Amino acid sequence: MNQGYFIQYGLELLGGDLKSEMNHFEKISDILLALYISRIDNKQTNFHGERLHYINLITQKFLLHINSVKKLTDGITLKSKSKDFETIVKDPFSISVLVRGSIENYLVLNYISNRFKDEDLLSGRFEIWLRYGLTKRGVLPENDEERRVNQSDKDSIELLTERIINRNFFKNLSEQKQETFLKQINREWKFTFKDDKFFPASWKDLIYDSGLKSHIGQNVYNYLSWHAHTQSISVIQLKDMWNENFDEFSTKVSISKLNMFGSFLISDIIQNDSEFKNAFNSMSEDLRELINFYNYSYRGDEFLI
């Protein structure tokens, strides 16, 4: 990594102000969008394999979330025609909800694409995740189209189950544990495996599995746990917003999380997809080093591009 840029970006964040975070956010969101534009311009719109295709769909969902956040940072308009009233207010709570969704998007992406895990495990993780989603989509079909979709889902679930039971992690389980596991994947999709055992995983496990340094991981987990829910803390924060500069502080915290996980996501998809890597390498050095700055600072040098 270029030390000059590392010092520059560190100094920019040292003041702890929203303006610096937003400056980085604009660049990181632009980098991600530019990667897709480059693929389209070069007619590289086909992805090799189903898992990589879904990884890119998750990335697109992340891209939509962060651009919605960008809109919200300008504030929302409260307007009443009957009272001839109009004012602009900040909404850090909706931003928190979108940021939480963005982080969870990234954690799913990393879970099924982590290059430090073997391909058999990653494929199995993807199949379990996809199967779980299909089982939760089930509705009582009321017309021919719904019946067709319902039958297609059942066929896909059966096929995914067959793939899962042929994975090494499944074969390593005892017969009794295999039976338990096949029941468990109807209720959960996040798992860790060790020898002949399996364990349901939490979002906290996925945070640390992504490579995030431990002293930062707890803070992120707390953010996921509290900020986007209607707990008393969020209502207390609303009360504080009218008395203090809470809206700007809360937005800064949210944007700082997006800068971190946006940079992680860019690093991960580049390592998994050569077309993205070619597009990234064609960008200016200052943009490439911004992504490296966040990955090095919060994960380590093994995540540098």
Residue-wise pLDDT tens digits, 276-292: 999 999 999 999 999 99
Domain that holds residue 122: 118-209
Domain boundary among 209, 238, 262: 209
* 302 DSSP assignment: G
Maximum CA extent, the chain: 70
108 shares its domain with 122: no
Scan for tokens 């597009």, then name that residue.
Answer: 279
Q: What is the pLDDT of residue 220?
A: 83
**pLDDT mean across residues, the chain:** 91
Q: Is 67 exposed, middle or buried (0-12, 13-18, 19+ CB in 10 A)?
A: middle
Q: What is the pLDDT of residue 146?
A: 76
Domain boundary among 193, 209, 225: 209
Scan for tokens 């994975």, then name that residue.
Answer: 167
Q: What is the pLDDT of residue 161?
A: 98
145 shares its domain with 190: yes
Q: Is 284 helix (H, G, I), strand (E, B) or coil?
A: coil
11 shares its domain with 123: no
135 shares its domain with 266: no
Element containing residue 129 per DSSP (H, E)? helix 119-136
* Cα–Cα separations (whole angstroms), residue 105 to 108, 123, 176, 264, 273: 5, 18, 33, 12, 18
Collect the ranges in the chain with pLDDT lower than 50.
Answer: none
Distance CA 59, CA 267 (A): 12
Distance CA 129, CA 198 (A): 15
- Give yes or no for a contact between 256 and 21, defined as CB atoms under 8 angstroms apart: yes
**Model pTM score:** 0.92
88 shares its domain with 5: yes
Question: Residue 228 — φ and ψ, nearest 5°?
Answer: -100, 5
196 shares its domain with 300: no
Question: Residue 135 — φ and ψ, nearest 5°?
Answer: -65, -25
Element containing residue 256 per DSSP (H, E)? helix 246-272
Q: Which residues, 6 or more positions from 34, have their beta carbon under 8 angstroms from its beta carbon? A: 279, 283
Tokens of 17: 């102000």
Q: What is the pLDDT of residue 54?
A: 95
Q: What is the pLDDT of residue 203?
A: 92
Distance CA 49, CA 46 (A): 9
Domain boundary among 175, 193, 209: 209
Scan for tokens 């000059």, then name that residue.
Answer: 4
Domain count, the chain: 2
* 187 DSSP assignment: T
129 shares its domain with 146: yes
265 shares its domain with 123: no
107 shares its domain with 123: no
Residue 17, amino acid: D
Q: Is 138 helix (H, G, I), strand (E, B) or coil?
A: coil
89 shares its domain with 222: yes
Distance CA 177, CA 179 (A): 5
Q: Are strands 191-194 and 197-200 parallel, antiparallel or unpaired?
A: antiparallel
106 shares its domain with 20: yes
280 shares its domain with 186: no
Q: What is the pLDDT of residue 230?
A: 59
Question: Residue 77 — φ and ψ, nearest 5°?
Answer: -100, 125
- Give yes or no for a contact between 107 and 207, defined as CB atoms under 8 angstroms apart: yes
DSSP lists the bridge partners of residue 191 as 200
Distance of CA 80 to the CA centre of its chain: 36
